[in-house]
Chain A
Amino acid sequence: MPQIQQLGTYPSQVFWLFVTFVVLFLIMRFAVIPKITQVLEQRRDKMEGDLERAAALKEEAEATLAEYEAAVASGRAKAQEVIRQTGEDMSNRATAEHQALGQRLSGQVREAEARIAGARDAALADIQSMSAEVAQAAAERLAGLKVDKKSADAAVKAATQARV
């Protein structure tokens, strides 16, 4: 078996093994491994970067959606508020106007009543004074009595009061 018989070749085999192995080690250590490491890291960074960007975009989209939903909700709330406010205003104004109208009407009614009362009083006064004159004239003509105005008035007043 040459492996055992060729003892003389041992130094040469070990020497060349050492030389070639060291050369290979240096090539691997300083050229190949850094290059492969760099490529793999670059790829990992790229993938991580892509994933990060995707996550950021997703977050952004979610924020936009939330913003949109908030805007819709606030718009709806505002509309509700406006509707409620308007309704309230309108009912307020209606009651106010209703009240004002009632007041005006009752004022007019009172005024009219006062006017009527005044007119009646005036009419009554006219009637009394006319009755007194009529009574004066009747008493002069029928009885030839001269009745002064004062007592005629008093007599008419007494008569109407008794009647009423």
Chain B
Amino acid sequence: MAAEKHGPLEQFSVKPLLKIELGGLDLSFTNSALAMVITVVAISVFLVFGMRSGRLVPGRWQSMAEGSYEFVGNLLRETIGAEGRKYFPYIFTLFMFILFGNLLGMVPSHFTFTSHIIVTFAMALVVFIFVTILGFAKHGIRFFSFFVPPGAPLAMWPLLIPIEIISYLSRPISLSVRLFANMLAGHTLLKVFAGFVVALGAAGVVPLVFIVALTGLEILIAFLQAYVFAILTCLYINDALHLH
């Protein structure tokens, strides 16, 4: 524990800021919760104030706000089609929440809540449960035909159906681990190289340059992972709506 205090993983430790206990559960307001609140405030400020004037010819800020809206709108249209409109508020919130969580995590000393497996897993599990319920609500018992690959010979079914079910059940795991691992690895790597800068003295310029490049890459990954999470959610919804 003591060794971890100043190690590259120390940045991920959750520290309670305000002790709250409800029904025997520790629901303390932590640095992770603070990061979430800051994320929500940042998104709201970005979008509400960006659109405040609602000009016909948008300025820079309004263009960015509209751009994020249209980006998610196109994502839904391309993956689900016209019926995807219904899920827009949810996908938009999900995308913005992860994107801002990732990007704000790039600010030094700001906690990155998406680097915690429990947070990403909770989000992925909600997506998984929502999609499964949607599939059953739309197709009833026929939803199980989703686990039978179309055109597969009957003899292959005993082999293919378990594979399909396992791949379906592993969706929340792959969805959550992808985001969590990317954030964890990126931030750990930055911290490790930052340690080299101090340790190497004058030669520390080399890892410093590397950190600058890596920061750029991490910002790209922050965006990319939010995009991947949103597009996979869209694809899962599309699967539930159209089966194959």
Contact = CB atoms under 8 A, between A and B. Distances in A.
Interface of A: 1-4, 6, 8-18, 20-21, 23-25, 27-29, 31-33, 35-36, 38-40, 42-43, 46
Interface stretch (B86-94, B135-143, B163-171, B213-221): B86-94
A137 B100 CA distance: 164
A146 B170 CA distance: 176
A3 B115 contact: yes
A25 B113 CA distance: 18
Contact of A1 (B12, B40, B43, B69): B12
Nearest to B15: A9
Contacts of A12: 14, 16, 20, 25-30, 32-33
B54 A35 contact: yes
A1 B1 CA distance: 10
B123 interface: yes
Nearest to A4: B117
Contacts of A4: 117
Contacts of A6: 13-14
Contact of B92 (A14, A21, A28): A28
A20 B33 contact: yes
A8 B28 CA distance: 10
Contact of A28 (B26, B36, B93): B93
25 contacts: A1-B9, A1-B12, A2-B13, A3-B115, A3-B180, A9-B26, A11-B26, A11-B27, A16-B30, A16-B33, A17-B113, A17-B122, A20-B33, A20-B97, A21-B97, A23-B40, A24-B39, A24-B97, A25-B90, A27-B40, A27-B43, A28-B89, A31-B48, A39-B55, A40-B69
Contacts of A11: 25-27
A76 to B, nearest CB: 49
B184 interface: yes
Contacts of A10: 118
Contacts of B89: 25, 28-29, 33
A15 B65 CA distance: 28
A135 B126 CA distance: 165
Given A6-B14, A20-B37, A20-B40, A40 B66 contact: yes
Contacts of B208: none
A11 B16 CA distance: 12
Contacts of A9: 14, 16, 26, 28, 30, 32
Contacts of B122: 13-14, 17-18
Contacts of A21: 36, 93, 97, 123
A28 B129 CA distance: 22
Contact of A13 (B13, B14, B62, B184): B14
A134 B180 CA distance: 169
B119 interface: yes
A148 to B, nearest CB: 138
A3 B25 CA distance: 18
A129 to B, nearest CB: 126
Nearest to A27: B44
A48 to B, nearest CB: 13
Contact of B54 (A14, A20, A24, A39): A39
